[in-house]
Structure 1
Amino acid sequence: MRAAFMLLLAGLVVLSGGTAGRAADAAKIALVIGNARYPDNEFVLSDVANDAQDVAEELKRAGFVVDSQSNVTGDAMRRALDCFYARIERGAVALIFFDGFGIQSNRQTYLLPVDAQVWTEPDVSRDGFSLDTILAEMNTRGAAIKIALIDASRRNPFERRFRRYSAGLAPAIVPNNSLVLYSAALGAVTASGKTDRSLFVAELLREMRAPNISAEQALTNTKNGVVAATKREQVPWLSSSLTTEFSFASPVTRPPGDKAADPLPTKPEPQVQEPQKQVCEAPQAEPAPIADELARDPVVADLSRKVAANTNDVASRYKRGQVYAIKRAYALAMLDFDAVIRRAPRDAEALNNRCWTRAATGDLQGALADCNLALQINPGLSDALDSRGLVNLRLGRTAEAIKDYTDAIQRNPRSSSSLFGRGIATRKSGGDGATDIALAKSMNPDIAKEFAGYGVTECVP
C-alpha cells in the first residue's frame, strides 16, 4: 500500500499542455511518515517500515524531494509538517504518505503519532493530526496538486478504549485538484497481519509504472487488484478532484514515422464469482495473554506505577482495566473495574466495561445487572446497549438482543459489533441476518474472531 502510494505521485507526468505542462515543471515535494512502533500496540507494524522506505525511494526516483520520517512523536510530526508546508512553492505538487494508525472522530480522520495518549474521544483531536487540516494547509500554501496516500485503516488499541470496535477512517474534505487514497473503504478496517510487505503497495507500484494510462485509471486498476486478491474483503477508497491530466509513468515513445498505436489496454476489472455455500467453521478465539507479557507491557507498567503511588488514582485504575480487558486479561480487568465502581457506583462507563468483561467470562447474570444499571443512569449509552445485546444473545434471548443491537445501531450506525451481533441474533431466531453479518465483516474482518472469544459463532444448529 504504502510504497506504491508515493509512487503514485512520485512519477506524476503531465500528459497535456497548458496548465498541465506548467505542473510538470513544478517542484515536487513529499513527506513520508511510517509509524510502526506504538507503545500501546501489542506488536510492531512490521510492514510499515518496509513500505514507507519503498515509497520514499520511488518518489525520489520520480523527482520528488522527499523528507522521510519513521516512528515520530507528536512534536516531531508537527515539526515535519511545518517543514513540509514551508517547502511548498506556488504551483508545486505536494504529497504526503502516512502509514501507521489513524482514527475517526467527529467525521474527520486523524493521523496518530507514536506517543499519542488517547483514552477518550476528545483526546483524538488533541494528540492527532487532522487530514482535512493538512490538505487545507497544502492548498493554502499554493500547491497546485495535493496528494494524500493514507494507509491507516487498521484496527487499533485507541478506539477500543472509548468505542467497542474500530470505525475505520472518515471521508476527507478534498480541495480542488486533489487526490486522496485510503487503503480500505470508509468506516472499514483491514484484517490484522504481520507481513513484511503489503498487498496494496505491490498492486499500486505495479499500476503506477504502467505507461500511457491516467493516474485515476491506475488507481482504479489498483483498487480492482486489491479487491480481487482479497475476495472483496479489502476495498480501497479513492477521492479525486483532479482537473489536470496526469500519469504516474512517462508515456511510451515511438520512433518517428511509426503509426501511432492505440493506448495500452487497461487492466480489465476482475470478474467476481458468486459466493459458494460453505460449511460453517467457527474461527479460533485469540488466546489469553501470558502473565509475563502483561508485565512487560509499557502501558500496563506505567499505569501500575501510578496506582501503586496513589491507591486512590481511579482514572489510572480505570485505564488499566480497559487495557487488561482489551488484552483479554479479564480477571485483572474485573479487579480494577470493581475498585472504580466501589468509589463511583454510578459511573455508567465503568459499569458498561464491567458488564462487557463479565459477559466475556460467562458471568451473564452479573453482566446483565451491570448493563441495566448503566442504562438506567445513561439510557443513551450505545456501548452499554451493545454490551447488553451480547449478554442477551448469550442467554438465548434473541428478541431482546435484536432490540438492544438495533437501538445501539441507531445511535452508532458504524458499530461492527452491533451489526454482527444483530445478524447472529436474527439468524438464531430463524431469520437471515446475512446483510448485517456481511456489512460487519466488511468493516472489521476480525469481527467473527472477536465474537468467538465471547463464545458466539455464526454456526447455527
Structure 2
Amino acid sequence: MSHFMRAAVVLLLAGLIVVSGGAASHAADAAKIALVIGNAKYPDNEFVLNDAANDAQDVAKELTRDGFVVEQQINLAGDVMRQTLDRFYARIAPGSVALIFFDGFAIQSNRQTYLLPVDAQIWTEPDVSRDGFSLDAILAEMNTRGAAIKIALIDASRRNPFERRFRRYSAGLAPTITPSNSLVLYSAALGAVVASGQSDHSLFVTELLREMRAPNVSAEQALTNTKNGVIGATNREQVPWLSSSLTTEFSFASIITRPPDNKGGDQTSSKPETQKPACEVPQPDATPSADDLAKDPVIADLTRKLAANAADTVSRYKRGQIYAIKRAYALAMQDFDAVIRLDPKDGEALNNRCWTRAATGDLQGALADCNLALQVDPGLSDALDSRGLVNLKLGRTADAIKDYTDAIQRNPRSSSSLFGRGVATRKSGGDGATDIALAKSMDPNIAKEFAGYGVTECTP
C-alpha cells in the first residue's frame, strides 16, 4: 500500500460547514439535525464523482430550507470523518430528528454496509471495517443519543475500485439493522450497483429532492415516491431499497403525530403497534414468477457470469442467496448443491442450504447441513441461527433456545436469533415478549420473514 499516498493532510481543509438557525454546536436550538457528506475525490478512483459533491450541496440547501440544522462536509478523510460523526452525535438532543445523507463509495462486508472516507486503503476484507464506518453503528448511536426519528439517505451503491482488488464480484450494499422509528433509503437494491458516470447530478438525488419539496407529504411517502420515480425513469434497471420502522408520521417540514383511536386520549402518544392484536400473523410475500426472477438485474448479471464460467462458485453462491431471499427455494437449492459439490467444506454454503431446507420443511436434511457447517466452522453464528430454526420447527424448543442464545452471544444484533429465541421461549411456556419486541424494533419485517418459514409467535 506504500505506493498509494494518503490524502488526509490536504483533505483536512476541504470541509464546508453550512449551519441554519444558529451555531451547530447547540443541539437544543433545533429539533431537526442533519449531517450531509459528499465524498467525491477518491485517489484510487479514475475520476472525480462530481455528482456526489453537487448533490450533497443541493441536499444540504433543501434540508436547511426545511428547518434542519445542517452540517455539510465534502471529501472527508478518515480522521476528519470520525470527528465529524462525533460532532453530529453530540448535537442530537433527546426527542430530535437526526438525518444523515452520504454520497460517495460504500462497501458491504460481513453483512454490514461501510461508508468509506476518501483516503480508505482497501486491499483485504479486514480493511473494510478498519477504514470504513458502519451504517449499523451510526444508526445505533443516533438512537442511543435519544433521536426520536432516525433517517439515513445513502447514495453509494456504486461499483468501486476497492471491491475489484479482493473480490471477484461487486457485493453492493447490505441491509442495515434499523432501530425503531427509522427510515433508510439506498439508491439501488441490496447487492446491486449502479455504474458510476461522470455526471453532475445523480438521478436518485434529483428524484429525492423533487419529492422532499412536495407539500403535505410524509417523509415515508416522499421516499417511496423517490423509489418509484427512479424505477420508472430507468425502466426498472435501478430499484432503490427502502426500509421503514416509523410509528410516528414525519414530513421534512414538520412532525405529525397520529391521533389516537379514542377521542379522549393523549393526542401525542398513540402507539399503533400496541393496539394491534397480540398475535397477528402476517402474510409472507408471494414467490416471484420465473419471468420476474429472470428480469431481476442482479440475477441476470450473475446468470451471464455463470454462462461464461460454470465453475464460478462465487457467482453461483451469490445467486443462490438471492433466490433463497426471494423464496425461490428450488432454484436456491440447485445453486447451493453445485457449490457444495465443488467444495464439500464450504461452511457458508452448507449453512445456506440448511436454511433453505428448513424453510421448505426438509428438517432432517437441514439439521445434517447445519451440523456439518458447524463442524467446519464452530464459530459460524449464522449456522447456529439456522439450526435454531430447524430445532424450533422440530419442536425441540430447549435446543432452539440454546442455539439462538449461542448465536446472540456472537452477534447481539441478530434480529432473526432474537425473534426465534422469543418464539421458542413462548412455545416452551415462557414469555419471550422482550426478545420478540426487540427483534421487531430492529427489523419490522421479521415476523413476516418467519411466517414464510411456517413459524409464528402465536401459541395455542
TM-score of the aligned structures, taking structure 1 as reference length: 0.54
Aligned to 1:111: 115
- 2:370 aligns to what? 371
Match status 1:400 vs 2:399: yes
User: Contact between 1:109 and 1:169, CA under 8 Å: does it hold in 2?
Assistant: no
**Residues in 2 aligned to 1:410 and 1:53: alpha-carbon distance in whole angstroms:** 43
Which string of whole-angstrom CA distances, capped at 9 and with x for unpartnered residues, describes residues 182-235 of structure 1? 758xxxxx999973279799846445xxxxxxxxxxxxxx6xx6xx6599xxxx
Alpha-carbon distance in structure 1 between the residues aligned to 2:221 and 2:329? 22
- SS of residue matched to 2:300: helix
Aligned CA distance change for structure 1 residues 200 and 413 (closer, same or farther; 3 Å): closer
CA contact (8 A) 1:153 1:169 kept: no
Given that 2:259 and 2:267 are in contact with CA atoms closer than 8 Å, whether structure 1 keeps it comes out as: no
Shift of 1:103: 8.2
Structure 1 residue 9 displacement after superposition: 6.2
Aligned equivalents of 1:450, 1:201: Cα separation in 2: 23
Once the two structures are TM-superposed, the CA of residue 350 in structure 1 deviates from its matched residue by 0.8
Determine if the alignment matches structure 1 residue 292 to structure 2 residue 291.
Answer: yes
Contact 1:99/1:150 (<8 A) preserved: no
Gaps in structure 1 of 5+ consecutive residues: 1-7, 21-28, 34-49, 69-79, 87-92, 136-148, 171-180, 185-189, 208-221, 232-267
Distance 2:247 2:282 in 1: 25
After superposition, the CA RMSD in angstroms is: 5.3
Is the radius of gyration larger for structure 1 or structure 2? 1
Match of 1:196 in 2: 225
* Cα distance in 2 between the residues matched to 1:150 and 1:269: 24
Q: What is the DSSP-based 3-state SS (H/G/I as helix, E as strand, rest coil) of the residue aligned with 1:110?
A: strand
Q: What amino acid sits opposite 1:450 in the alignment?
A: E
- Residues 427-449 of structure 1 show CA distances to partners (whole Å, capped at 9, x for unaligned) of 11111110100010011111000
Paired residue for 1:151?
Answer: 152
Identity %: 60
Residue of structure 2 aligned with 1:13, choices 13, 18, 22: 22
CA separation of 1:59/1:275 partners in 2, compared to 1, >3 Å: closer, same or farther?
closer
Task: Tell me the equivalent position of 1:271.
Answer: 269
Q: Which runs of 5+ in 2 are unaligned?
A: 1-16, 27-34, 40-54, 81-86, 89-98, 139-149, 158-169, 185-218, 227-243, 261-265
- Aligned pairs for 1:89-104 within 5 A: 97-98=101-102
Aligned to 1:432: 431
Aligned equivalent of 1:39 = none
Aligned residue identity for 1:130: F
Deviation of 1:375 (Å): 1.1
CA distance in 2, matches of 1:359, 1:304: 25
- 1:438 and 1:102, CA in 2 relative to 1: closer, same or farther beyond 3 A? farther
| Residues 175-254 of structure 1: pairs in structure 2 closer than 5 A | 195-196=224-225, 203=250, 205-206=252-253, 229=258
Cα 1:384/1:193, change in 2 over 3 Å: farther
Distance in 2 of aligned mates of 1:230 and 1:121: 48
How far off is 1:61 after superposition? 8.8
Q: Deviations over 1:15-62 (max 9, x none)?
A: 9xxx99xxxxxxxx96569xxxxxxxxxxxxxxxx9997764343798
Change (3 A) 1:66 1:417: closer
Which residue is 1:168 aligned to? 177
Matched to 2:21, the amino acid is L
Q: Distance in 2 between matches of 1:130 and 1:230?
A: 38
Letter paired with 1:111:
L
Distance 1:385 1:230 in 2: 43
Deviation track 1:372-397 (CA, whole Å, cap 9, x = no partner) reads 11112222111000000001111111
How far apart, CA to CA, are the structure 1 residues paired with 2:299 and 2:312?
14
SS of aligned partner of 1:151: strand
Determine the structure 1 residue equivalent to 2:239: none
Partner of 2:200: none
1: CA distance between counterparts of 2:132 and 2:359?
34
| Distance verdict in 2 for CA 1:65–1:291, change over 3 Å | same
Deviations 1:410-458 (A, max 9, x none): 1111110000001001111111110100010011111000001101111
Aligned 8 A contact 1:341 1:347 in 2? yes
TM-score normalized by the length of structure 2? 0.54
1:81 to 62, 75, 84: 75
The 8 Å contact of residues 32 and 56 in structure 1, kept in 2 or not, is answered as: no
CA distance, structure 2, for counterparts of residue 356 and residue 299 of structure 1 = 21
CA shift digits 1:216-275 (9 cap, x unpaired)? xxxxxx6xx6xx6599xxxxxxxxxxxxxxxxxxxxxxxxxxxxxxxxxxxx99435694
SS in 1 for 2:75: helix
Give the corresponding residue for 2:145.
none
Q: Measured at CA, do residues 277 and 309 of structure 1 come closer, stay the same or move farther in structure 2, by a change above 3 Å?
A: closer
Conserved 8 A contact 1:358-1:366? yes
Distance 1:420 1:63 in 2: 36
Aligned to 1:445: 444
Displacement, 1:152? 4.8
Give me the whole-angstrom Cα distance separating, in 2, the residues matched to 1:289 and 1:454: 16
Identify the range of structure 1 (190-199 vs 300-309) with the bigger mean alpha-carbon deviation: 190-199
